[in-house]
Amino acid sequence: MWKLVRILVLLILVVPVISWILWKVEKDIPINLLVIDKTTPEKSFSEHLSFFWLVNQNKWVKSTGDEYDFAEDFLGFHPGENGKYVIKDLGIYGERCSPRLADSMDVVFFADTYGIYSSNWEDHPDHGKDTISFFYGGLQAEEFNLLRELKRKGKTIIAEFNLFASPTSSVIRRQTEELLGVKWSGWIGKYYPTLDTAKTPEIPKWIPELYKKNYKTEYNFSKGGIVLVDNKERIVILEEKTHLKERFPILISELSTQLEYNVPKQIYYPYWFDINQIDNRNHVLANFKIDVNDKGKELMDSLQVPIQFPAIIEHDKDYRFLYFSFDFSDNQIGIYSSYFKGVEKISEAFYSSDQVIDRKMFFWRYYRPFMETVMDSISAKKERKKRYLD
């Protein structure tokens, strides 16, 4: 008995060391990477941390050989102590930097352009007040110019919710939509485990107010559900059982996507998303479905909101473009597990399969295998280019 215990203890101590050594001896892959994230009110950096997890796991490094640092190596809002901050934008590269920057980059990732408001930044002087103040954010002309140059030079562009929505100006939005072949419907949505504002303080105060304004009746919801709002201040609230057959939006992947990216046919998604249309330059790798009953369908139809819409959009011809119509990289994951090779084989130890709202499960079952495939293709392209130049 004690011999078995000693063996188990030895394995528990030795296996992580071996796993770390195997990761450490993997070949570094120099990738010129630019990350833009304007929604970083806290030092968790949740909007781009999952992406850097894969960067680290796949041994992507800078041209100098140094590792990428998720807390430093991005453009956007950099929070400090006691309300101090630094904003690093494309301006640090100088005027008319877009052609030069696009030339030097292998991939640019637009993690989030929503920005900083008094409602999501605790150190904002107006935090906690009824009036929401806008501080910093939105896609700017310099970033649009970079997108245009990246497309022209055949580079890889990865972007997520929200690239198009508020607070980006309508002019920049239209230009970006025309450039990339994606049109935002004006609608965004999010699942809440309970719609009761007393039990879910993160529900914005304006949601009950907007509901009362639209429907001339008091906001009175207690179950879980999905809130949809648009840029015309319209609102749809879909409550469990009352309007929904399935309480979460369902991410449904095409068969070709399942095979190429090693992801399941469908999985629940419990966080922010937006609703878009695409033109014939792009194709859809996965769709969202909101599974409504007759009452929910009637409500959605009344405002012409689709119950199925693109979730993952791709263009893969003259340039590579991936748009995720949801907070794809915003998952509750720690960076340290990325230092161990083969850690995905014990991933079920990091989450509970019956806790669907826990985005750790989404990370391990869908995000990691999908982005692993994306990053492998980028690495392979860089290696082919290197061999050609050599």
In the predicted model, is pLDDT for residue 272 greater than 90? Answer: yes
Closest CA to 270 of 317, 203, 231, 224: 224
- Judged by average pLDDT, the poorest of 65-79, 115-129, 202-216, 251-265 is 115-129
Q: How confident is the model at residue 13 (pLDDT cuts 50, 70, 90)?
A: low
288 assigned to some structural domain: yes
For residue 17, tell me if it sits in a domain.
Answer: no
In a domain, 19, yes or no: no
Q: Say if residue 12's pLDDT is above 70.
A: no
The answer to whether residue 54 sits within a structural domain is yes
Classify residue 144: in a domain, yes or no.
Answer: yes
Q: Give residue 238's pLDDT.
A: 97
Domain range for residue 41? 31-389
Residue 11 reports pLDDT greater than 50? no
pLDDT at 354 over 90: no
The reply to whether 314 falls in a domain is yes
Q: What is the mean pLDDT of residues 25-45?
A: 93
pTM (2 d.p.): 0.93
Task: Check residue 256 and give its pLDDT.
Answer: 97
Q: How confident is the model at residue 390 (pLDDT cuts 50, 70, 90)?
A: low
The model's confidence at residue 343, banded by pLDDT at 50, 70 and 90, is confident
Cα torsion 203, 209, 214, 219 to 10°: value is: 70
241: left (phi > 0), else alpha (psi -120 to 50), else beta?
A: left
The pLDDT-based confidence of 332 (bands split at 50, 70, 90) is confident
- What is the total count of domains within the chain? 1
Question: Per the domain annotation, does 9 fall within a domain?
Answer: no
- Looking at the predicted structure, is the pLDDT value of residue 24 above 50? yes
State the Cα–Cα distance between residues 140 and 75, nearest whole angstrom.
Answer: 13
Instruction: Specify if 184 maps to a domain.
Output: yes
Q: Tokens representing 34? A: 């630019």
The two three-digit tokens of residue 316, written as one number: 């893969």
* Residue of 245, 262, 244, 241 lying closest to 253 (CA atoms): 262
State the alpha helices, DSSP H only, in the chain: 2-24, 46-57, 98-104, 141-152, 170-180, 206-215, 255-261, 294-302, 359-362, 368-389
- Lowest-confidence region among 45-54, 215-224, 340-349: 340-349
- pLDDT at residue 2 is higher than 70: no
pLDDT at residue 121, rounded to an integer: 85
Residue pair 68/33 in contact by the 8 Å Cβ criterion: yes
Q: Which long-range contacts (CB under 8 A, 24 or more apart) does 64-72 make?
A: 65/28, 65/30, 68/33, 70/45, 70/335, 71/43, 71/45
pLDDT score recorded for residue 314: 98
